[in-house]
Amino acid sequence: MARDSCLARVGTGIAVGGAVGGAIGAVYGTFEAFKYKIPGAMKIRYVGQTTLGSAAIFGLFLGAGSLIHCGRSY
């Protein structure tokens, strides 16, 4: 059984964190855009910024966690 390389694990962590963070950011950004009554096209910009920001943060932390756990064997 071949073991995954550290780089593959970190890349997977970043991808999964980005996907989860993007989904959560899109839902939260849409909720806030309607809650605070942001006008017209500014809603799209606000939701996009929230989505990208959340995806980046979640990806960073999940990638860092994967990097920390790289040396451990279970």
pLDDT in the model for residue 44: 95
pLDDT of residue 10: 92
Give this prediction's pTM.
Answer: 0.86
pLDDT at 3: 65
Domain ranges of the chain: 6-69
What is the distance of C-alpha 60 from the center of its chain? 8
Pick from 23, 4, 21, 17: nearest CA to 65: 17
Closest alpha carbon to 31 in 16, 23, 52, 20? 23
- What is the rounded CA–CA span in Å between residue 61 and residue 1? 28
Q: What is the pLDDT of residues 19-63, one digit of tens each?
A: 999 999 999 999 999 999 999 999 999 999 999 999 999 999 999
